[in-house]
Structure 1
Amino acid sequence: MKLAESILVLLVPLAAMILSSLRWLRVAQREHYVPPMTTKFAMRWWGLRDKPINSVAFILGFLVAELTIRPEFSKPLKLGLVVILSLIVVIFPLGLGLKGRTSRLEWTKRLKRLAGLSYLLAVILALFGLLISVAPLMVSITALCYPVLLDLATWLLAPYEDRSAKRFVQAAAAKLAKVSPRVVAVTGSFGKTTTKGYITALCSQSMMTVASPASFNNRAGLSRSINENLVASTELFVAEMGAYRIGEIAALVDWIKPEISVITAIGPVHLERFGSEEKILSAKSEILTGAKVAVLCVDYPKLAFLANELETMGTRVWRCSGSDFRAEICVKADEEGGLVVFHDQRRIGYLPSGELSAGNVACAVAVALELGVGEEVLAKQLFELKPPPHRLTATVVDSSGLVVLDDTYNSNPTGARHAMTSLAKRRAPGVRTVVVTPGMVELGHRQFIENFKLAECAAEVASDLVIVGKTNKRALTKGALDRSKEPGAVLKKVVDVATRDDAVRWVRENLKAGDVVLYENDLPDHFP
């Protein structure tokens, strides 16, 4: 009986760890298997201000773990203690469920390897605990701190994953060389996917164009895009390139080799990962390596300075702007709410919708002209240009008559300000204007102030602000309430809800036909 109890004292926490690993494996997958991101998110959840019970449970778990090695405690009592700890591991942190709301766990081969190795490490630690006579404590701490173990497993597997991916990259590089299309690469702190979509739309009538789908912007996504989508008749390949670290884009252009490289913007997005905008610029500038032509949005000072540097080095540069008439390509709003496109101060096109990002349109126009798209064709394509899905698209809900501005794929300060301007244009007597947002993330030390400013803008154009989740609740609430007390503010109500579904429910219950709601950004459910 004592042996059975001793075994259960070890197996119960390990079983709880395996069950709770479902939530942490999902976090690791959503964060692209980058250590130590799983541990960082675990710390956020365990330390959540609005749910102090999470912190209490975590501390209690450590206290219970320590009690499991007290020699004066009987085996049945220790078994009871590990059951309590196991319940903490499975149930907490509250708010982060075992099953995702916004995305399910995809059991890819990589995830299976990661899960297997993390479980193996847990067993090794348990055996080590047996060796030094603290096995219950070791297993309990391992179960409670599984995210740390998962990040360790991710780090250990990284060299293998790199080697495993090489064969797909080699196949993609060979196919790219065989088909030999012209290649355009697009990066930037934001606006990458939108600009890629605009380039594809403007060029597809003049040449057989293939673009990397959705946000397939890393090595795995781009190699898959080429291997699956490139055909012999492809004349143009448009590749979106993202980065979480310096060196990632350099590795991409080493085998994709763009002829034209585009940088849409430099801003604080991913500042948490890079540490400074200078490092962000350095990482994004890697896309220019080997390119004959650079297309830069000079509305951002760092890119304006880079344009001058590149010209002195002999690179052909297209300066693009959403405001500066001196740029080679300038896209400016007119009095009728549309966008006028100028090339060297000469009008070449018009977009009836002013909702599109002028800077992104300008970059796409520059690429099209560089590729030889005729101005007549370009003018026609510009007139028909539409924003990509979930990037400030406007629809009227048939069943309710509610006007919805869907900007859920936008997560940067510049885009958010543009969306607020769009909402302001729809204000009218008797019309409620509502902003639904979880705020913006990965802005590092600027996250609080940028979300504070976002809420200030919302208070100037929205009658209601609905804050989703806890991640930016404090900054958004303070910004909204502070600005609402000043002259010119129109905000009447601030509501906070737990999830996006709760926000949608609130909108349906409180708004009527003709009212306007802006959904600004959306976060996956592994964010608090």
Structure 2
Amino acid sequence: MNKLFPLKIHLTILQLFEYNLVDFWRWILQNVNSRGLEGKKMLTLTSKMRLIIALAFVWLVGLFILIGQASWLWAIIISLVIFSQDYFLLSLALITLWPIENYIKSQIKSKTRNKIKKLQARGLKIIGITGSYGKTTTKDFLYQILRTKYQVLKTPESFNTILGIAKVVNLELDESYQYFICEYGAFKKGSINELVDMVKPDFGILTGINEQHLEQFGTIEDIIREKFAMIEVIDPKQPIVINLGNKYITDHYKKFDRNYVCFGTSDSTFHIPHSTFDENSSKFDLILDGKKYLATTPVFGQSNLQNILAAATMAYQLGITPKQIIESIAYLKPTPHRLEVKQFKNGITYIDNAFSSNVDGFKLALEFLKTFKKRPKILVTPGIVLLADRSNEIHRELGSFASKICDRIILVGQSERTKALEEGVGDIEKTMYIDKISEVWPTITSLDLKNPVVLIENDLPDNY
């Protein structure tokens, strides 16, 4: 049935693109004959999706009746043709829904904004976190540290949009909380301004900036401008934690006169000068306000240590003592699919870094893979999306970097991304292709390597 009437496939793709018609139509034009998906994420029949389906059928029935006035036979034939190309109906349904959706969204924003203002007037403090990478993990770590002293609520998982944040505020946030940690996502120009207008932060963390979402923004300058939009609304007297180890932040932060607390460089008063990893934990020297402390944590990789550093720096500004910070770090729980290390009984060590890869995170994950001395190292990746016209260049650089560390590189899917990675590797004996991620473990078993370490770097949804 899907081969003739691929409605379920197109509904799934529309949902994966978060109902963005431009992205949906770009996928349709590139996959017009596609009649199957890997099924990584199943269609969820939300109230919005049910309404879109209902409106699509209203349009279909309306067209059937209209054409039927001239010929019922032609009405049947044309309706079947239109239904087989249902993306037209779905687009009409979504366009019909826009005025209603915008009105509802404006009401939700107004309700959320009013509630936030009332709670802030009664003492609630809001910590905003944004950046091209590390937002969710930094938020999770900061939450675990702050809750040792304060009543804290955070946006869950990667809830960083208008409706996601509003849902948390309106259903969970109340006067019992002293701090609310809010993650701000940016997927188009103006995203951050819209979010901070609804939930204005008192403090801020800028984790880092890179080419992630370059396809939506157009230029790196637009991405930088978007991320700094959060900083512009924060009281100049309040602390804003920024990563001076990031060149884009370093080049632009002085344009705004703010109370910056800097981390990430050796001359910062908050940094990590030394770290080691074993199979059970990470040990590192943590410099807090110029003083050194020895820390141990069950999370791994330099990217996670940078996120811990950002969280610890903000926690220190908010009155958490170094002793409390070190004790909290020792019991941190890793954020799922962000450099999670898992040991399998067959001797395989699996590094799960499958969530939403970015250029900096990709390189740091490879650096962590490199620490597993004298063991075969395997990289599995489909590459990184949304890098616009820099995609091939970046993937060739990543391929070259990976080639120096990995014994085998398994590329998922035939795409411009994976072809550029292969070009960068420059060694056809190192690279191999699989069609989908579910084939990875049989493929690794067939390589017959002793105690390999496998890094899964990114796992793209079906729309990519």
Q: State TM-score, norm by structure 2.
A: 0.88
Match of 2:21, SS?
coil
2:68 and 2:170 map into 1 onto residues whose CA distance is: 49
- One-letter code aligned to 1:330: H
Instruction: Give the CA deviation at 1:108.
Output: 1.0
Describe how 1:378-397 pairs up with structure 2 within 5 A: 378-397=325-344
Describe how 1:20-59 pairs up with structure 2 within 5 A: 20-46=6-32
1:62 match: none
2:98 match: 158
Describe how 1:175-214 pairs up with structure 2 within 5 A: 175-180=115-120, 181-214=124-157
Structure 1 residues 474 and 167, CA, compared in 2 at 3 Å: closer, same or farther? same
2:391 and 2:294 map into 1 onto residues whose CA distance is: 38
Deviations 1:151-194 (A, max 9, x none): 44324422311222344444444544454421111111111111
Structure 1 residues 45 and 196, CA, compared in 2 at 3 Å: closer, same or farther? same
Instruction: Give the CA deviation at 1:468.
Output: 1.3
2:393 match: 449
Work out which of the residue numbers 205, 210, 215 in structure 2 matches 1:272.
215
1:401 match: 347
1:325 match: 266
Q: Does 1:363 align with 2:310?
A: yes
Instruction: Give the CA deviation at 1:457.
Output: 2.2
Work out which of the residue numbers 42, 45, 55 in structure 2 matches 1:117.
55
1:406 and 1:126 map into 2 onto residues whose CA distance is: 50
Count residues with an aligned counterpart: 449
- One-letter code aligned to 1:309: K
Pairwise CA RMSD: 2.8
Mean alpha-carbon deviation: is it higher for 137-146 or for 201-210?
137-146
Looking at secondary structure, tell me which structure has more helix per residue: 1
Q: Does 1:251 align with 2:194?
A: yes
1:189 and 1:138 map into 2 onto residues whose CA distance is: 46
Structure 1 residues 124 and 236, CA, compared in 2 at 3 Å: closer, same or farther? same
Instruction: Give the CA deviation at 1:439.
Output: 0.9
- One-letter code aligned to 2:9: R
Asked if the contact 1:427–1:433 (Cα under 8 Å) also holds between the matched residues in 2, the reply is no
Mean alpha-carbon deviation: is it higher for 27-36 or for 142-151?
142-151
1:494 match: 431
1:339 match: 284
Match of 1:36, SS?
helix
- One-letter code aligned to 1:476: L
Mean alpha-carbon deviation: is it higher for 366-375 or for 131-140?
131-140
Asked if the contact 1:434–1:465 (Cα under 8 Å) also holds between the matched residues in 2, the reply is yes
Describe how 1:472-511 pairs up with structure 2 within 5 A: 472-480=417-425, 482=426, 484=427, 492-511=429-448
Structure 1 residues 123 and 274, CA, compared in 2 at 3 Å: closer, same or farther? farther
Asked if the contact 1:187–1:262 (Cα under 8 Å) also holds between the matched residues in 2, the reply is yes
Gaps of 5+ in 2: none
- One-letter code aligned to 1:505: P
Match of 2:133, SS?
coil
Work out which of the residue numbers 371, 395, 402 in structure 2 matches 1:458.
402
Deviations 1:121-141 (A, max 9, x none): 344455666678886886576
Match of 1:376, SS?
helix
- One-letter code aligned to 1:390: H
1:438 match: 382
Q: Does 1:519 align with 2:456?
A: yes
Match of 1:221, SS?
helix
1:355 and 1:395 map into 2 onto residues whose CA distance is: 13
1:108 match: 46
2:77 and 2:246 map into 1 onto residues whose CA distance is: 54
Q: Percent identity of the aligned residues?
A: 23
2:444 and 2:66 map into 1 onto residues whose CA distance is: 55
Match of 2:268, SS?
coil
Instruction: Give the CA deviation at 1:354.
Output: 5.5
- One-letter code aligned to 1:470: Q
Asked if the contact 2:210–2:248 (Cα under 8 Å) also holds between the matched residues in 1, the reply is no
